[in-house]
Structures are given as C-alpha cells and as structure tokens.
Amino acid sequence: MTKPDFASPQGHSSDTQGFDVLVIGGGAAGLYAALSIPSRWRIGLVTKDTLSISASDWAQGGIAAAIGADDQVSLHVVDTLKAGAGLCDPEAVEHLASQAATCIHRLVELGVAFDRNQGQLAMTLEAAHSRRRVLHAADTTGRAIVSILAEAVLKQPNITVFERAFALDLWMVAGRCRGALVACDRQLRWLSAQATVLATGGGGQVYAQTTNPAASTGDGVAMAWRAGAQLRDLEFVQFHPTSLAQTEAPPFLISEAVRGEGAHLVDSRGYRFAYDYHADGELAPRDVVSRAIFNHLQKTGDDQVWLDMRPIAPDRLQYRFPNILQVCRTWGCDPLAQPIPVAPAAHYWMGGITTDLHSQTTIPGLYAVGENASTGVHGANRLASNSLLECLVYGAELANLPLQSSDRPTTSTTTELVDLDGVDLGAETLDSLNQRREQLTQLMWQAAAISRGQVGLDGAIAVLDQWRTAWRQHPWQVLHALAPGHTYQLPGGLDWPRLRAWGELGNLYDIAWLILNSAAFRTESRGGHFRQDYPDTRPEWQAHTVVEGDRWQTSAPVGDG
C-alpha cells in the first residue's frame, strides 16, 4: 500500500471553512442544538443524509412532558427513575423533567402541529407513565418535529449545512477537540471549530433486527472513543417489543402508544400472555415486555406473537395511527380486520458518551447530545417518549457554550489540495462491505440481543477480535492518517456509497466490540441488559459501567432517587 507524504502535501490551493461550532448529526438533537446556539456564532452542520432522514424522524409515539392539569414534574421524575432500574442520575432526570414545558412551548412557537383536544394539547398514555403526558402529532411525531426544526435551520444565515457528508474522525490538538475530518463533495476536509457537538444518534444497525434507520451506525460514539472520550453503560440496549414481523417486510416499529390506547398482545392461540410475566401486562416497561415475548416464544416454539388493535375503536385507530395502518396494509395485513405479527427489535441505546448537565464530554471542546450521549436520564432502561425530550433539553444547554471571539477560526483558510489518486485503496466492492456488515449484525443478534450469556459473549468477542485485526489492514484505513489542516481530493474510483459503507462498517466494528465487552463485564441483569447466567439484579452493581480506551470499571454507586 503506497502512502503519500501527508506531512508535506503537494498540490494546488483550496479553501476550507472554520466555524465557531461544528454540529455532527441532522436529527432532532443536532437541529435543536444548532438553533439554540446564539446566532452571532458561525455554525457548520454535518449530516450523512438530508435533514429529514434520522432516527428522530422515525419516532412515532411522541414526546413526554408533565404539563397536564393532573400531572407534575415530580411524578415524571419518579416514573423515569423507576424505569431506569436504579441507574438514572437523579439530578439529570430532574433537569430533564423540569425543562420539558419550556421546550414544548418553543416547539409550538416554531410551528410544530401537535394534536389537540378541544383546543388543548392532546396527551396519551404510554407504558410505565403514571399520567397521560405524551404529546403527539398522529403517529409521526418525530417527523413533525424534525421537519419544522430543519426548516428553521435552513433559514438561519449563520448555519452552513453539509448534506451527504460523513465525519470520519475528530480533530484533536493537545487533548482538545478542534473540529473533525469530513468527507463531502468528493473531498476530505478538516473543518475547524471552537466547539464540536456530536449528535449522530444511536447504533441500532449493529443488530440484525432493528427499528433504526440505516444511518444509525454509532458514528459519534465510535469517533469519541477513538479520540479518548469516556463512555458509559454501553451494555444497555432497549429492544422494542413490537416491530412488524410480516414476511419480507423490514422491521417497522409499532408504537407503544398503540398499546397505551388499548391494543392487546396475544399468542398463536389468542391468549393474552403478557400478564403471566408482569402485573402491568402490555404496559410494563419495554425491557419486561420484550423479555416476556422472548420467553413466551421459547416456551411455545412460535416465531412471533400478535398485536391485536381491534379493542381500539376504528375511528380512534385511524385518527391516531394512520401511518402504522398504511404501512401494515402495504405489507398485506389490516389491523382493523385481524391481529398483526410482531417481534422485538433493537430500538434505543441507553449508553453512550459520558456528559454532564451541560452536555460537555470528558474531552475539552467536545459535546454530545441525544442518543449518542449518556446524560444519566435513561439509566438501564429508557422511559417511553423521553428520548425526543432529552434531545431538546440537553440541546438547549448549548446556548451557553463558552466560546470566545478571540478564538474564532478564520472563515476561509487557504490550504493545499492533495490528490489521492496515487494511493492504492484496493478494489473492495459495496457488496462485499455489505456482506461483512450482515455477518456482524447476525453475530450481535445471536450473542448480545435480548438474552445474553458468558459463553456466547466470549465467543463473539473472539470472532470480532479477528475481524477487527484484519480490518485495521484495510487499504482505506490510510484515510484515518490524513494530516490535519489540508484538503484531500478523493480518488475517482472511490464513490460516495462505498466510502460511507466503509466508514460505517468500521464504526460498527468498534461499537460492537464495546457492547460485547460491556455486556460481559456486567455480571447481573438490570433494565435492558439481561444475562441468563446472572438473572438477578445485584445491589453491588448499582453503578455505571465506565469505559476509557480498553479499560472497564464501575463508577461510584448510583443513588436510588
């Protein structure tokens, strides 16, 4: 493999951009963060797709806020702490719940069209909530929010949007983050910034069955880990109990709000089995319902269970869940006429990059918001509809970034444009990259999904160690060694789909390794992490799992709240 002299590039000059803040991620967290930062600062916003494609855009259920006449912040706090199975940080949860009303009012001001009942904001009930506090826009709440936020971002003259752009690595200078290396418009550019915000979402695509969009490949967590940031609680993955399991249909989330409105889970004999596993039946916390389905399928030998929506009045069902009805009918099942087949799928990653109440990571100049952050609000198992709220509350914290005009990067810096056509990057096809990705997701589904055990985890770690060792020799890894401060022209044969597939696969390898080792480290069952060889929750494990480099340890015990 031939490497150019990256330290002394030869080529012609090019302009690169500097920003006060670089936001990586175009979902609700990244968009709201960008809008929260004062307009006097220059902002660059990087998104792999377009501003309308993100996991936030896929969110159906809604956003939780204690604003009803019979509700209060303290009740929202209690419900969140209870769902988190002892690992929530009470201060972070209090901040989340207390700031909810302010964020909802901001969304309404921006134009988000939440459903209303007699002029008042309508609220529904979801599992593990003690009150009806989930606001919604039919069953496409995420899309309603993200579309409005995207429109607002595109109107801001201080925000430059890079679409179809992929961030490969963070730019580190003397232990501080100064921006990122970004592939865009057939170039690799080092974009400089005083502050860099990771808002790339979760990593559900590491599993064979997931409700997440294709872009959810753990990019932010992987980049932060490679840069030396502390990570936390990576073993806690929430598996949504009810994704569509129709033959040939991709996993499609059937919102928890459907069960909140009265839908029943039944088995092949029509038996409503959820109450055999928990007193709250279908409205038990998500991890409980997912394990109930998993255990019931093990018991019966069936491949799926069914969600019966017919207890919901037809008019109500069509009003509240038009998108769900449309998708189900597209794949040949009509919820108005018969139960639909469902099965669990990976849905939300509770762990992520450790942050404080102001979204600051352990690396100076680096912040994290949304699903790629571990703020402490979700603990071992996220309460339904708290994820969109977390994006807003902790994105709003970036209004107070400690930026300095004297440290402002220049708007345009002339650098050398280096042509990489002379670099041997091999001839890996998109199909071969996708095959490797499928192998990985199947490995993770077998070893580290709903039910885990030491033998399976150790075997998967051994296999993944081999894959990652070989991956480090991949010719394209040379792109991670590019010298900061220069712009590189990508070879003509390296198209965008292959570059993205390569970058995502590398990140998936990293986060898979982190999840597997974290799951092996925690020898108990709690929340979204279930070990069949350690089925009990143990008091000595009421502590965060902290990851720094290749070291795992526990933090101080977490209070009960």
pLDDT at 125: 84
Asked if residue 526 and residue 448 are part of one domain, the reply reads yes
Q: How far apart are the first and last CA of the chain?
A: 56
124 or 178, which is more confident: 178
What is the model's pLDDT at position 15? Answer: 44
What pLDDT is attached to residue 257? Answer: 83
Looking at the structure, tell me whether residues 319 and 421 fall in a common domain: no
Residues 521 and 420 both lie in one domain = yes
Question: Is 505 inside any structural domain?
Answer: yes
> Of the candidates 251, 385, 264, 258, which has an alpha carbon nearest to the alpha carbon of residue 320?
258
Q: What is the mean pLDDT of residues 371-393?
A: 95
pLDDT of residue 266: 97
Highest mean pLDDT, choosing among 289-298, 368-377, 408-417? 368-377
Q: Among the three residues 308, 331, 346, which one is the final residue of a domain in this structure?
A: 346
Name which of 42-51, 305-314, 372-381 the model is least confident about. 42-51
- How many CB atoms lie under 10 A from the CB of residue 411? 10
The 10s digit of each residue's pLDDT in 250-284 is: 888 898 889 989 999 999 999 999 999 999 999 88
**Section 513-518 average pLDDT:** 98
Contact between 374 and 353 under an 8 Å Cβ cutoff? The reply is yes
Q: Which amino acid is at 31?
A: L
Q: pLDDT class for 11, splitting at 50, 70, 90?
A: very low
Residue 223 lies in a domain: no
- Note the pLDDT of residue 494: 81
CB burial readout 14-44, b (16+ within 10 A) else e: bebbbbbbbbbbbbbbbbbbbbbbeeebbbb
> Residue 422 has what pLDDT?
65
What SS3 state is found at 540?
A: helix
User: With pLDDT > 70 as the criterion, what percentage of the chain qualifies?
Assistant: 91
Residue 460 lies in a domain: yes
Q: What is the CATH number of the domain that holds 248?
A: 3.90.700.10
Q: What is the pLDDT of residue 124?
A: 86
Q: Which of 178, 286, 437, 452 is catalytic?
A: 286
Domain-embedded: residue 402: no
Q: Are residues 430 and 526 in the same domain?
A: yes
Task: Using pLDDT thresholds of 50, 70 and 90, give the confidence band for residue 140.
Answer: confident
> Is residue 6 over pLDDT 60?
no
Q: Give the model's pLDDT for residue 502.
A: 94
Is the residue at 307 inside a domain?
Answer: yes
Structural domains in the chain (count) = 2
Where residue 538 falls among pLDDT bands split at 50, 70, 90?
A: very high
Last residue of a domain, one of 346, 362, 382: 346
**What is the pLDDT at residue 114?**
93
Q: What is the pLDDT of residues 431-457, one digit of tens each?
A: 999 999 999 999 999 999 999 999 999
Residues forming beta bridges with residue 160, ordered by sequence position: 44
Q: What is the mean pLDDT of the chain?
A: 90
Q: 269 an active-site residue?
A: no
pLDDT at 415 over 80: no
The 8-class DSSP code of residue 8 comes to S
The CATH code of the domain that includes 520 is 1.20.58.100
pLDDT band at 60 (very low <50, low <70, confident <90, very high): low
Asked whether residue 217 is domain-assigned, the answer is no
> By residue range, what is the domain housing residue 334?
239-346
Q: Who wins on pLDDT, 7 or 158?
A: 158
The Cα angle at residue 261 between residues 239 and 303, in degrees rounded to 5: 40
Question: What pLDDT does residue 52 have?
Answer: 60
d(CA 429, CA 436): 11
Residue 374 · residue 232 · CB < 8 Å: yes
Residue type, position 203, single letter: G
Are 480 and 168 in contact by the 8 Å Cβ rule? The answer is yes
Query: What pTM, to 2 d.p., does this model score?
Result: 0.91
Share of the chain above pLDDT 90, in %: 75
226 three-state secondary structure: helix
Residue among 390, 320, 322 nearest 56 (CA): 390
Q: What is the DSSP letter of 258?
A: H
What was the pLDDT predicted at 281?
A: 94
Last residue of a domain, one of 346, 361, 384: 346
Identify the pLDDT of residue 8: 30
Pick 421 or 260 by higher pLDDT: 260
**Residue 243 lies inside a defined structural domain of this protein:** yes
Q: For residue 6, tell me if it sits in a domain.
A: no
pLDDT of residue 361: 98
Among the residue ranges 226-240, 363-377, 395-409, the one predicted with the least confidence is: 395-409
Confidence of residue 9 (pLDDT cuts 50, 70, 90): very low
Which of 158, 225, 317 lies closest to 548, judged by CA? 225
The pLDDT assigned to 483 comes to 85
Q: Are residues 337 and 442 in the same domain?
A: no
